[in-house]
Chain A
Amino acid sequence: MKIVLPDKKIIIQKREPAIIKDILEGLWINPSSVIVAKNGDIVPEDVIAEDKDEIKIIFFAHGG
């Protein structure tokens, strides 16, 4: 799985299918402070991501 972090760093890891919310929490990211795109499409965090997927995490919790 390819995970693109808010600071553009990329993590590549082999993993079993998992709920995105759990993936975020495993990275110490609060799901309420980010939006997630799976393979380019925005999805709710209770969607499952598989090893072949790319997850992009967009952090937004700052100024208006």
Chain B
Amino acid sequence: MNNPNICSICGKPAAVRLSNPDRRLCAEHFIKDAEKRVFEAIDAGKMIREGDRVLVGLSGGKDSTALILILSEYVKTRPGVKLIAVTIDEGIAEYREDTIKAAERLVEYTGVEHGIISFTELFGDTLDRLVADRKNLACSICGVLRRRSLTEAARRFSADSIATGHNLDDEAQSVLMNMLRGDKPSLIQDSSLGYTGYFVPRIKPLAVLSEKEIVTYILLKDFYSPLPECPYAVTALRMEARKIIGTLEEKYPGTKLNIVKFRDGIREHVPYSPKGKLNTCKICGELTSGEICQVCRVLNRKQ
């Protein structure tokens, strides 16, 4: 260790060392630093406007825990903004029960209005039963149904935007995964955002914080609790991307941020415009680029 491990601001023992710029921070100043970076990202990206109703996807996992805690601080300085937390209960046995309890503890602490929407209510059954004979597709089916659930929640709560807990690691990994798949459209347009102008905008306020910073933040705020891993989590390519980027970040601090900045630079120069027009799904009536929406397709709904 070249320098003494003390906070660059107050001189107390440091809890973290950050790069760009290189600095050490104690618990209190790290919490302030992380919140400030997220607030600046929200303002710079005009993610939240005065008077907005922001739906917060609250799974109860580490990312959404940090998201609700940080957004609760953000709205203290913007009293016109209203947060509404929603937890999607997919119906995954021995997994979701614990995270719902964690979510309930968080809304009690923050005082944020909370709603729970279940796959059973929206799609007629639990994820466990919907994918019983096609478990290898569980993650992609769940992703489609979760997106629709959030859209439905935004409708119910008259939300102006949907905030999700995607972090810097998620974003950097997605860039590398898109490159490895040769998927240029996904590199240029975030598929999770849908068609801008047609759907409730999605915002990712935590995309400036690394996964490690997020876990450090909730540990220091005493909201960290190890929760079970989703039994369907089998994202082999993402794990590879995580390993590669993790190794590079260790050797060259700032790698994750640079990958995301590089993607953002490309997006500025190659504006995305969806091909074709949007239709209404012939089965459920929701917007879709084809004739039948993804939800009806994964649920094998018939006309």
A contact residues vs B (CB 8 Å cutoff): 19, 30-33, 35, 41-44, 46-48, 58, 60-64
Do B230 and A63 touch across chains, with their CB atoms under 8 A apart? yes
Question: Could you tell me if B219 and A58 are in contact, using CB atoms closer than 8 angstroms?
Answer: yes
Chain B 238-259 interface 0/1 with A at a Cβ cutoff of 8 Å (1 = within): 0000110011011000000000
Measured between beta carbons, the chain B residues less than 8 angstroms from A47 are 1, 5
Q: Are B15 and A64 in contact (CB under 8 A)?
A: no
Does B104 count as interface, using CB distance less than 8 angstroms? no
| A31 and B64 within 8 A (CB) | no
B250 & A64 in contact (Cβ 8 Å cutoff) = no
Q: Can you report 10 A-B residue pairs in the complex whose CB atoms are below 8 A from each other? A: A32-B212, A33-B246, A41-B13, A41-B15, A42-B216, A44-B5, A46-B5, A62-B233, A63-B229, A64-B61
Do B249 and A32 have beta carbons less than 8 Å apart?
yes
B62 located at the interface, meaning its Cβ lies under 8 Å from any Cβ of chain A in the complex = yes
The distance in angstroms between the C-alpha atoms of A43 and B243, with both chains bound, is: 23
CA distance A59 to B15 in the complex (A): 16
Total A-B residue contacts, Cβ distance less than 8 Å: 65
The complex places the Cα of A44 from the Cα of B66 at a distance, in Å, of: 20
CB-defined contacts of B233 to chain A, threshold 8 Å = 62-63
Q: Report how far A7 CA is from B9 CA in the complex, Å.
A: 35
Q: Does B284 contact A (CB under 8 A)?
A: no
Known contacts: A43-B5, A44-B5. The answer to whether A35 contacts B212 by CB under 8 A is: yes
In the complex formed, the residue of A with least CB distance to B59 is A64
| Residue interface mask B44-85, A partner, CB < 8 A = 1 | 000000000000000101111000000000000000000000
CB contact between B219 and one of A30, A31, A35, A46 (< 8 Å): that residue: A35
CA distance A48 to B13 in the complex (A): 13
Q: Are A64 and B220 in contact (CB under 8 A)?
A: no
The reply to whether B13 and A46 form a contact with Cβ atoms under 8 Å apart is: no
The interface residues of chain B lying within 8 Å CB-to-CB of A63 are 61, 229-230, 233
Q: How far is the CA of A56 from the CA of B16 in the complex (A)?
A: 15
Asked whether B27 is an interface residue with its Cβ less than 8 Å from the other chain, the reply is yes
> In the assembled complex, which residues on chain B have CB atoms less than 8 Å from the CB atom of A64?
59, 61-64, 165-167, 170
Contact partners of A60 in chain B: CB under 8 A: 62, 211-212, 215
Q: Tell me, yes or no, whether B17 is within 8 Å of chain A by CB.
A: yes
On chain A, the residues within 8 Å of B146 by CB distance are none
Q: B24 an interface residue at 8 Å Cβ cutoff? A: yes
Asked if A32 and B250 sit within 8 Å, CB to CB, the answer is yes
Shortest beta-carbon distance, A20 to chain B, in Å?
A: 10
Whether B14 is near chain A, meaning CB under 8 Å from some CB there, is: yes
Known contacts A32-B212, A43-B13, A43-B15, then 8 further A-B pairs from the complex at CB < 8 Å, ordered by chain A residue: A30-B243, A30-B247, A44-B5, A44-B24, A58-B215, A60-B62, A61-B242, A64-B170
Complex CA gap A63/B167 in Å reads 11
* Partner among A30, A43, A58 whose Cβ is within 8 Å of the Cβ of B246: A30
